[in-house]
Amino acid sequence: METSEKLELVRRYLDRIINAPLNLTAFRDLQEAFTHLYIDSVLAVKPHDLGECFLDVGTGGGVPGVFLAIEFGKRGLLIDSVCKKVEYVRRVCEELGITNVTTMCIRAEDLKNSGNYFESFDSAVCRAVASLATVLELTVPYVKLGGRVLIYKGPGYTEELGNSVNAMKELGVKLSDVRCYSIQGKDRYLLVFEKIANTPEKYPRRAGIPEKRPIR
Residue 127, marked binder: yes
Helix intervals (H) in 52-193: 65-72, 83-96, 108-111, 132-139, 157-162, 165-171
State the Cα–Cα distance between residues 96 and 90, nearest whole angstrom. Answer: 10
Using DSSP, state whether 95 is helix, strand or coil.
helix
Quickly list DSSP for 177-188: EEEEEEETTEEE
Residue 32, marked binder: no
Residue 33, marked binder: no
State the Cα–Cα distance between residues 188 and 213, nearest whole angstrom. Answer: 26
State the Cα–Cα distance between residues 136 and 95, nearest whole angstrom. Answer: 33
Using DSSP, state whether 1 is helix, strand or coil.
coil
Residue 108, marked binder: yes
Using DSSP, state whether 123 is helix, strand or coil.
strand
CB 93 within 8 A of CB 101: yes
**Annotated binding-site residue numbers:** 58, 108-109, 127
From the annotation, which residues make up the binding site for S-adenosyl-L-methionine? 58, 108-109, 127
